[in-house]
Amino acid sequence: MSTNTQTKKLPLAVQIFIALILAIIAGLLLQSHAKFAEAYIKPFGTIFLNLVKFIVGPIVLFSIMSGIISLSDIKKVGSIGGITVVYYFCTTAVATAIGLFFANLFKGSFPVLSTSSLNYEPSTESVSAMDTLVNVFPSNFLNPLSDSNMLQVIVMAILIGFAIILLGEKASSAVKGVNLWTEIFMKVMEMILSLSPVGVFCLLCPVVAINGSMVVGSLAKVLLCAYICYLIHAVVVYSLTVFTLGKMTPLQFFRGMAPAIIFAFSSASSVGTLPINIECTQKLGASREVSSFVLPLGATINMDGTAIYQGVCAIFIASCYGIHLTFAQMLTIVATATLASVGTAGVPGAGLVMLAMVLTSVGLPIDGIALVAGVDRIFDMGRTTLNITGDASCAIIVSKLLEKKTR
DSSP code per residue over 130-183: HHHHHHTS-SSSSHHHHTT-HHHHHHHHHHHHHHHHHHGGGGHHHHHHHHHHHH
Question: In order along the chain (407 residues), what is the average pLDDT of each group of 10 residues?
Answer: 54 82 90 90 90 83 84 81 91 93 88 62 56 81 82 88 90 91 86 87 87 68 93 96 94 94 86 86 90 84 89 91 89 85 57 81 85 80 93 94 76
Task: Supply the pLDDT for residue 1.
Answer: 44
Which CATH number does the domain 12-112+129-406 belong to among 2.40.10.220, 2.60.40.420, 1.10.3720.10, 1.10.3860.10? 1.10.3860.10
- 3-class SS of residue 382: helix
Helix axes 327-343, 304-320, angle to 10 degrees: 140
Task: Supply the pLDDT for residue 246.
Answer: 92
Candidates 242, 280, 287; CA nearest to 264 is: 280
Task: Supply the pLDDT for residue 233.
Answer: 97
Task: Supply the pLDDT for residue 3.
Answer: 45
* 144 in Cβ contact with 138 (< 8 Å): yes
Q: Is 349 left (phi over 0), alpha (psi -120 to 50) or beta?
A: left
**Rounded distance between C-alpha atoms, residue 41 and residue 201, angstroms:** 9
Q: Phi and psi of 247, rounded to 5°? A: 55, 45
**Rounded distance between C-alpha atoms, residue 43 and residue 161, angstroms:** 38
**Rounded distance between C-alpha atoms, residue 299 and residue 269, angstroms:** 9
